Amino acid sequence: MDRAKSSPGRSVEMLNGVDFRSLAGLTPRNQAYLLKAGLTTTLEVLCCPLPNLARRLGLPPSETETIVNEIAASRVPKPINVGHLISAQLADSTPSYEDCTELINRSACIATGDTHFDALLGGGIRVGSLTEVVGAASGGKSQFGLKLALYAQLPSTSNIAPGGVIHITSEASFASGRLLELADQLELQGDRSPREFLDNIHLTHLRDMETLEHIVSYSVPELINRHANRPSLGHDNDAREAKRQKKGSLLPIRLLIIDSLAAAARTEWDTSKSGMFERSKSLIDLGEKLRCLAERYRIAVVVINQVTDDFRHQPGAPATLTPEATQSDPAEEFLTSTPTMQGGLQSEMPAELVYARQHKYFGGQSARLRKTAALGLQWTNCISTRLMLSRISSLYENDGVTPAMTDETESKAQAYSARRRATLIFSPFAPHATLEWKLDKAGYRALGPPALCERYTHRDRG
């Protein structure tokens, strides 16, 4: 991985353009053509459409393209290897201390409260990034978000200070009772009571996508700025707010949780082509706003998503699109309804690039799990990390409880609980891996370290 060295002065220089005669990569012959046409800066050349530039220079398009490529290659910043940035022995020719500090800050994570989950995610929930937690009903998604909201307020092994949480929920009532129960189980509460954790969880309800867009565009930035400048807040009329500020319990916002996006998006538009286009546009805009929030304010963003049944992924079936291939999510149905992929016509794309063939690498379905993340390909392109939570049919024995200890009238749930699996579908920070976990009174807890897993056989990979 390389990172280009940049500075404010260089950004202004790139915007205004420079005299191309100072570029070493441009041949004298091509410089003469540009000067004859009255062009003097790189900006005039690079921002001019190629056909117009060719007519102005009086050259064939191929030669004009060569000139553009020479200028572009001369203006590309020299890449710097990340190994130089994190090296302890910095020489004069290597990046500055500020560059190294910026890189370290970008690797900050919010701990999940479980070392194995942190290892699965490559350190925890990444700050400045968009993470999706997806799973079926009763899969533990909301429980994951609740416990994460508590651990975001605790000191972390990462270089990020404890912070508050903005929790946007689509549920009619928030599980405050369960949140208090989880807070009671925390081992590192310090001198704070469980109810003090709730002071740093700012809750709002999500009714529809329009409400969510307004919250993300206006309410969230305002709340982040307000808590970032805590000493200067003016809430004299609110006695409770003033008391909390004086006590110093309010923390700057470090985490944004949306639970759940699919609940609001699925009923917002119809299944017509125009409806699907509008939905795609809205999801892309929302994803861009969330990424900007994460990057600008250095917060972690977690979006909880739902799943749909995948009827196309059948054992032994060829990975091609057919009229019979259906998908519960209307967006996936729309992707398979184009004239080039239906009605007996063959797709012009290679078989390896057809959506049904590629979908298994990022949707989350497997040979055992016939589920895939909702909201389609457009939303998938907006997120950086996808973590899928699922339940396994087998059971595990609860700690301290055995079948012999329970009488015949007691529920077997006291002795056994469902096994669960967490799978990192994709992430730029960690490899594709999985672990088993359980959900108890203290929240999620991994049953062992994560294990690398193969997505598909080499034959499937083509």
Confidence bin at 260 (pLDDT 50/70/90): confident
What's the pLDDT score for residue 341?
Answer: 41
Q: What is the mean pLDDT of residues 52-67?
A: 90
Structural domains in the chain?
8-75 (1.10.150), 81-107 (no CATH), 111-229+249-311+353-395+405-456 (3.40.50.300)
For 179, phi then psi, to 5°, come to -65, -40
Q: Is the pLDDT of residue 399 over 60?
A: no
Contacts of 34 (CB under 8 A, 6+ apart): 20, 40, 45, 57, 67
What's the pLDDT score for residue 322?
Answer: 34
Confidence bin at 458 (pLDDT 50/70/90): very low
Tens of pLDDT along 172-201? 778 888 888 888 877 555 566 777 888 899
Tens of pLDDT along 406-440? 333 344 444 456 789 999 999 998 989 999 999 88
Q: Percentage of the chain surpassing pLDDT 70?
A: 62
Q: Is the pLDDT of residue 227 over 80?
A: yes
Q: Is the pLDDT of residue 323 over 50?
A: no
Q: What is the mean pLDDT of residues 13-19?
A: 54
Q: Is the pLDDT of residue 356 over 90?
A: no
What's the pLDDT score for residue 409?
Answer: 35
What's the pLDDT score for residue 196?
Answer: 80
Q: Cα Rg for the chain, rounded, in angstroms?
A: 27
Q: Is the pLDDT of residue 281 over 50?
A: yes
What's the pLDDT score for residue 279?
Answer: 85
Q: Is the pLDDT of residue 344 over 70?
A: no
Tens of pLDDT along 90-109? 454 555 545 555 555 556 89
Q: Percentage of the chain surpassing pLDDT 90?
A: 26
Which residues are 166's β-sheet partners? 202, 256
Please report how the helices 50-57 and 28-36 are oriented relative to each other, as an axis angle in degrees rounded to 10.
Answer: 90
What's the pLDDT score for residue 366?
Answer: 60
Tens of pLDDT along 62-95? 999 988 888 888 777 666 666 665 554 445 455 5
Confidence bin at 114 (pLDDT 50/70/90): very high
